[in-house]
Amino acid sequence: MVALASLPRNETGIATAIDILAQRLGPRLQTGEAIRTQHANSATWLPAQAADAVAYLQTADEAADLIRICADHRVPVIPFGTGTSLEGHINAPAGGICADLSGMDQVLEINAQDGDCRVQPGVTRTRLNEELRATGLFFPIDPGADASLGGMASTRASGTNAVRYGTMRDAVLALQVVLPDGRLVRTGTRARKSSAGYDLTRLMVGAEGTLGLITELTLRLHGIPEAIRAAACTFPDVGAAVETCIAVIQSGIPIARIELLDALQVRACNLHSGLDLPEAPLLLLEFHGSPAGVAEQVETVAALVREAGGSGFRWEERAEDRTRLWQARHDAYWAACALRPGAKGLSTDVCVPISNLGPAIEAAQRKAREMNLLAPALGHVGDGNFHVLLLVDPEDAAERAGADAYIEWLAELAWSLDGTCTGEHGIGQGKRALLRREAGEAVDVMAAIKAALDPLGIMNPGKIV
């Protein structure tokens, strides 16, 4: 489906920029192959395309300098956080400089009274939550990987908690961004809401580094709930599990997490994480609130589970049991990969309105069986977002072609059900053709914005548009 053609390289510009940057950054500019490869797309099915150098940045001014130098010499800049994105966002198809922001890892300010904080882009979500521990606040967005917050903003990440707390779209109050011409701007204030002109914050969130480089984030935080309970329950089929999920959402229960694992994925998690869950479709649930509120939520949901024929409503009230359950969920990708040693997991990412979720998952499973793909499925079902993990041999061209055909078929299924080809992974290199088919002429609007803000095309070229 995707041909990773290289883009034309500006050899002279790249060499000049590397010379200048080496003088400024000293050993913080690295050109060795191991480091460059490590900073290219490695965690996914797309082949790596390494940058020509990696710049380890420490300040926003340094980032602005780097971009000015690269603009002067027409050299691509590829922002890098932790390298956990899934659609080739950190590849360098035209070469250029990888801007490694992992060293910009300061939590600059925590405003506990207002429930917000200001952080540098290299802070990871777990680091932030460690820093917040004493305040009674937490940062809820949890995509699984311990990604950097700058990277999470750039891909508009979400994950298991989005059904209650929203996505990075909702979590980011304001950004400081280096524009493609090297100017440093702020896109908002700490105020909770604003009507002050175009929503540049939301434009930069999800722009995958193609419109600028995020050097600071102002994030919204939430109070750690007084009471947290988690549960696991098993269903006779995926349809019953999804019906329960729809009923939970429709009854207005403010559930914090509601995750589906299909029978194959449960088997994978049992094997990988030493669990003994029944090998049938499973919902993992988490409830946040006051003790009485959580008790009420639990009672209502337990009744809905029973009505749908679900069973084994197991409670994990102790923090360590909850952690074990959610760790297994987070390790689902690796657990799935272990089902077929040597295989790579290609993660699909469609999202549909929840009333269409049951038919969507069932059709996706049926199609995978028809195509002889080993493909466990799991999903953030409260949002209608699910992932089918295609376990394929990356060296086998026929398998790769089959997987590509499946990914395209699944996107078409999602569109036919009023959905999108990507709920949270982004477009990157991998889904550009699908974006055009999904958004049509709206992609021209995106391209016009890109051309207006980055006329030289230096910011993360070859992604989105």
For a copy of itself, the binding residues in 226-245 under the rule CB under 8 A are: 226
Structural contact between residues 190 and 220, judged by C-beta atoms closer than 8 angstroms: no
Token duo for residue 195: 């009507």
Q: Which of 16, 449, 456, 457 binds a copy of itself (CB under 8 A)?
A: 449
> Which span sits near a copy of itself by CB under 8 A: 39-47, 64-72, 222-230, 304-312?
222-230
**Distance of closest approach, residue 186 Cβ to a copy of itself, in angstroms:** 6
Q: How many CB atoms lie within 10 A of CB 22?
A: 16
Choose the binding region for a copy of itself from 267-275, 312-320, 388-396, 435-443 (rule: CB under 8 A): 435-443
Of 367, 354, 347, nearest in space to 413 by CA: 367
Rounded-to-integer distance, Cα 317 and Cα 354, Å: 28
Contact region with a copy of itself (CB under 8 A), list: 48-56, 71-79, 234-242, 382-390 = 382-390
Q: Which helix (H) or strand (E) holds 23?
A: helix 11-25
Interface with a copy of itself includes 190 (CB under 8 A)?
A: yes
Q: Which is nearer to a copy of itself, 294 or 391 (CB)?
A: 294
| Interface stretch with a copy of itself, choices 61-69, 98-106, 122-130, 153-161 (CB under 8 A) | 153-161
* Number of residues lying near a copy of itself (CB under 8 A): 90
Residue from 48, 302, 439, 456 that binds a copy of itself (CB under 8 A)? Answer: 439
d(CA 44, CA 428): 12
Q: Does 116 bind a copy of itself (CB under 8 A)?
A: yes
Among 169, 324, 340, 367, binds a copy of itself (CB under 8 A): 169
Among 272-280, 307-315, 319-327, 426-434, which window interacts with a copy of itself (CB under 8 A)? 426-434
Separation CA 177–CA 295 (nearest Å)? 44
197 forms part of the interface with a copy of itself (CB under 8 A): yes
Q: Locate tokens 């016009």: which residue?
A: 448
Alpha-carbon distance 160 to 379, whole Å?
Answer: 9
Site for a copy of itself contains 421 (CB under 8 A): yes
Could you say whether residue 384 binds a copy of itself (CB under 8 A)? yes
Among 427, 459, 461, 462, the residue binding a copy of itself under the rule CB under 8 A is: 427
The distance of Cα 245 from the centroid of its chain, to the nearest Å, equals 22
Closest by CA to 125, choosing from 110, 136, 141, is 141
- DSSP code for 5: P
| Residues 341-380 close enough to bind a copy of itself by CB under 8 A | 349, 351-355
- Residues 266-305: x where in contact with a copy of itself by CB under 8 A, - otherwise, as a string: ------------------------x-xx--x---------
Asked whether position 249 contacts a copy of itself by CB under 8 A, the answer is: yes
Q: What is the DSSP string of 348-389?
A: P-EE--GGGHHHHHHHHHHHHHHTT----EEEEGGGTEEEEE
DSSP state of 457: -
Distances from the Cα of 301 to the Cα of 136, 389, 414, angstroms: 27, 28, 28
> And the tokens for 459?
């910011």
Of positions 189, 323, 327, 416, contacts a copy of itself by CB under 8 A:
189
Which region, judged by CB under 8 A, interacts with a copy of itself, from 40-48, 110-118, 308-316, 394-402? 110-118
Shortest reach from residue 267's CB to a copy of itself, in Å = 28
Name residue, tokens 């793909």: 373
77: left (phi over 0), alpha (psi -120 to 50) or beta: beta
CB 119 within 8 A of CB 102: no
Tell me whether residue 170 or residue 321 sits nearer to a copy of itself (CB atom): 170
CA distance 269 to 81: 28
Looking at 183, 306, 318, 366, which residue binds a copy of itself (CB under 8 A)?
Answer: 183
Q: Which of 103, 115, 278, 312: binder of a copy of itself (CB under 8 A)? A: 115
Nearer to a copy of itself, 100 or 243 (CB): 243
Integer Cα distance of 372 and 387 in angstroms:
17
Q: Which listed residue (72, 105, 131, 199) binds a copy of itself by CB under 8 A?
A: 199
